[in-house]
Structure 1
């Protein structure tokens, strides 16, 4: 069933006039990119900032992955019809040009693509801001000679901060290192939940035997306790469920078919020590689903929420779906099952009583 199906058109009657629901053409195993791009299009603050960025672009601006993405979003947003199919050819060509990993027609990883995309577009925005600061300095405007890395709207929306903490069991010295993140990669267990996975993410781990810690204070290897704490939460929280595990005996990656329940409303009070965690409630708006038995073969689709309705995006196909379909991607209660549809990347937006706004720094 295509994006112009009567089922979709009938459902879209109840949707706002300004929204667009377009499938993406597949250019030979580009479902990994299509599913992530659909999820990001329905991240309202990301879309609004990107459209604002596109509106300010000079016609002679350098071509890069961000300008190609902005062009794609403008193309969707400016369509007269509510639904149809668009070919993201320019974006895919640029992606393959910028990263040889995505040049082959082999099955690619949606999480690797998301990680690369965030880093690539934030670098473009950072460079733009640095160029503005350099121009300001040349114009004799008082600015510091050593400017910190500019914070862009991509950082404001998706970037959080974690603290890697290490405590030596001998001298009790605690060393800590802050680290920024765009997403959290969570180890999963069978018949578990995202909430329990988040708790395990921040659980204390003892390093001993072959894994001892090199303590600078003691000057030798010591047993230590390692812990990761989330210091600051982002406005848009991306969770990556680590469904692919390397098995030594098989000499390859194996997909974990585990059932992992994820909530539509995620409360982080019991899972994070971040100062804002107690009151933080996140709403699920997108799920990138991996269909198949292994990493090197399979298919990606996106389930997205738009104006309280869920939709299914499978390359060119767009269909309205009930919320119950999203629950089927939790996985089977049986570890070895014929059920192949599993939530792989989850996107949550922080709950707010205010209407969606663009980030303050619209680079």
Structure 2
């Protein structure tokens, strides 16, 4: 490209566009006096709906202001053929036919290099808020969530300044704006305190509890904009449920008549027990024979994520003290219960239960759990239940079945004790580029750093997505 800029832009320019830009800048950008600030406040409104927010844009061909969110600036550009404008933060316009033709002939318009750090930005700790910062880092690097918020697809029907989805949308804009200085998430913290009062205050909170509370509030504030039938057990088509909701199948089998009662419940995450907790941990490693599953070796004797998932989905005898009324026997009988995955979410979050709270015990469980970069959930599906024999899983996995395969993209860690600790996050950029996010400080990390970390919350993304 020449120093004069893109030659194709000249076809859209009007003769006086520089003068128009200068007037806009003098009157509405640089407001040095009280008079100009007052004039700006009165004049900077959408000429179609009267709103002074919604990412206001100005036409460079005439005196017109239009909001981007409600696409009033788009309507003006289309009707008047005024194709150039400036916005409060962006100059983002829907492409014209000519622009689309240019893009078709030049498909590679931007090169993302291996050392690109788009979207990486530190977060200021506002007083024991590392629990919030680490989850924000994980959410802002969730690919489909990022695409949703950067495409202005949220249509808010709540009162201004009270919608968490609007704040998250603004947060994504801040993260991907190119600014490198740490962001101060004070508005997000205020909304969390407003909508999840059990998290209010400056005490250290649990990152897992914050994640579930944030997803719950986002789910309640989201609106189904596309009107399509939900394809998840929650019967909701908001972006949160599209990405995070899976279906957990519970099969209760009567020990007398062997009748099975099945229920399916939605879940946003899977909480897994660890060895060393007061809950007995079933030794599941395949007898030290060197076999592997999901690329995890059992030779070292370390507990693996697969071990935890096996324990989670094993049949459990409920005992005589927890008899359930059988619909076949019409009486209370002993039974077994088994959990499996009926439907997998796009993003699978695994919560390793490191904090133990009981009447006699409050402690952190530091047991190291090995977790893989790539995870195959096929052995834990309800459809794979018939292939299990006496609680043992078949080691042969169909290498051509990629529907249930996941890739790791974020790991939340907790350092310290139950009373005094700190949260950090490992984030994946591109394929094998990892960064450690420690509040305002972001540093390069290796894959070994990630896999050697203790692990508290593990975020996996499906490798292949279905679409309609």
> Which TM class, normalised by the smaller chain length?
0.7 to 0.9
Partner residue, 2:356: 245
Shift in CA distance, 59/184, structure 1 to aligned 2, threshold 3 Å: closer
Kindly state the Cα deviation for residue 62 of structure 1 after the two structures are TM-superposed.
6.0
Tell me, yes or no, if structure 1 residue 49 matches structure 2 residue 148: yes
Separation (CA, whole Å) in 2 of partners of 1:195 and 1:325: 20
Separation (CA, whole Å) in 1 of partners of 2:381 and 2:155: 38
SS in 2 for 1:38: helix
Separation (CA, whole Å) in 1 of partners of 2:374 and 2:247: 22
Give structure 2 stretches of 5+ with no counterpart.
Answer: 1-111, 228-233, 277-301, 385-396
Contact 1:21 1:84 in 2 (8 A): no
Larger RCO: 1 or 2 (CA < 8 Å, sep 6+)? 1
TM-score, normalization: structure 1?
0.78
Select which of 146, 161, 167 maps to 2:253.
167
> Any idea what the Cα deviations from partners look like across 1:232-291, whole Å, max 9, x if unmatched?
1111111111112234433xx221111110001112233333579953221100001011
Which runs of structure 2 are paired with 1:236-275 in the superposition (5 Å)?
Answer: 236-250=347-361, 253-274=362-383
Separation (CA, whole Å) in 2 of partners of 1:84 and 1:14: 21
Contact 2:249 2:262 in 1 (8 A): yes
Select which of 115, 130, 151 maps to 1:15.
115
Shift in CA distance, 222/73, structure 1 to aligned 2, threshold 3 Å: same
TM-score, normalization: structure 2?
0.61
Kindly state the Cα deviation for residue 105 of structure 1 after the two structures are TM-superposed.
1.4
Give 1 or 2: higher strand fraction: 1
Shift in CA distance, 223/248, structure 1 to aligned 2, threshold 3 Å: same
Contact 2:156 2:163 in 1 (8 A): no
Contact 1:208 1:222 in 2 (8 A): no
Tell me, yes or no, if structure 1 residue 64 matches structure 2 residue 163: yes
Partner residue, 2:421: 298
- Aligned-pair RMSD on alpha carbons? 2.8
Paired residues in the alignment total 311
Tell me, yes or no, if structure 1 residue 129 matches structure 2 residue 221: no
SS in 1 for 2:455: strand
Give structure 1 stretches of 5+ with no counterpart.
Answer: 1-11, 134-147, 330-341
Contact 1:187 1:242 in 2 (8 A): yes
> Any idea what the Cα deviations from partners look like across 1:74-110, whole Å, max 9, x if unmatched?
122123x4x2200011111110111111112111111
| Worse-matched range after superposition: 172-181 or 87-96 | 172-181
Partner residue, 2:336: 225
Contact 1:25 1:88 in 2 (8 A): yes
Separation (CA, whole Å) in 1 of partners of 2:190 and 2:370: 36
Stretches of 4+ aligned residues off by more than 6 angstroms: none
Partner residue, 1:91: 188
SS in 2 for 1:34: helix
Separation (CA, whole Å) in 2 of partners of 1:183 and 1:222: 31
Contact 2:195 2:217 in 1 (8 A): no
Separation (CA, whole Å) in 2 of partners of 1:249 and 1:61: 46
